[in-house]
Amino acid sequence: MSAIARGEGRGTSAIDTTMRVLGIDPGTVTTGWGVVEERGTRLIRVTSGVVRARGSLAERLAQIFGEIEAVVVQAAPLVLSLEKNFVAANVQSAFRLGEARGAVLTAAARAGIAIAEYSPAEIKLAVAGSGRATKEQIQTMVRRLLGVRTPLAHDEADALGAAICHLHHRRFVERMAQPTVLALSRARRRAGRRWTSLRVVPSK
């Protein structure tokens, strides 16, 4: 039975959806997940939770896949957002993380939703304003940005942070695509080219 079906997820679903994103913090033992919806200028937590996998590696990966697939089906996000893969100091840890990511990505691919990846520093910067923010700072800022009063597990907060990062990135891209911004950007580039093309004649 899925996390949502068991009632482990928090929050309620809404019909009026502007953009809904599923954030994931993958791990072969604990995988955090969280669905965030953008409504105008507000960010709302729809539901979130943690998959606590048990058993052999294969069994844990199957459980992660099943739980995330259930979340995708029931919460109907448009995008999956998660951290980019990285090379950890512990090679075995990097392998395990890659396997958990594979289970999550497979669930997203089967559902046909878009996938966005961000570096840990990009997610921290989007949520806490610093690429070196601690887990405690991320947890505090996620609760503040989403108006969550109840405590969040670190993995759950990290997953919600990944979703917030994508929504912030989307807003930035949309602002840059506006005609006024595009015109200003092009004017600046033209001015820069004119400036660099000026020939400087040394004084005699």
Q: Where are the domains of the chain?
A: 3-197
Which residues are known to be catalytic? 25, 83, 155
pLDDT, tens digit (0-9, with 9 covering 90-100), for 131-151: 999 999 999 999 999 999 999
State the pLDDT confidence band at 16, using cuts at 50, 70 and 90.
very low
Domain 3-197 has CATH 3.30.420.10: yes
Dihedral of CA 18/144/26/162: which sign?
positive
Over the chain, what is the mean pLDDT? Answer: 84
203: phi then psi, degrees, rounded to nearest 5? -70, 145
63-106: pLDDT as tens digits: 999 999 999 999 999 999 999 876 556 778 888 899 999 999 99
pLDDT at 119: 93
pLDDT at 8 over 90: no
Taking phi first (over 0 means left), then psi (-120 to 50 degrees means alpha), and beta for anything else, what does residue 114 get? beta
Whole-angstrom CA distances from 196 to 183, 187, 192, 193 are: 20, 14, 6, 5
Q: What is the pLDDT of residues 161-187, one digit of tens each?
A: 999 999 999 988 877 776 664 555 566
Mean pLDDT of 1-9: 45
Of 191 and 113, the one with more pLDDT: 113
More confident residue, 203 or 174: 174
Give the model's pLDDT for residue 78: 96
Lowest mean pLDDT among 9-13, 20-24, 76-80, 166-170: 9-13
Do 103 and 75 meet the contact criterion of CB atoms below 8 Å apart? no
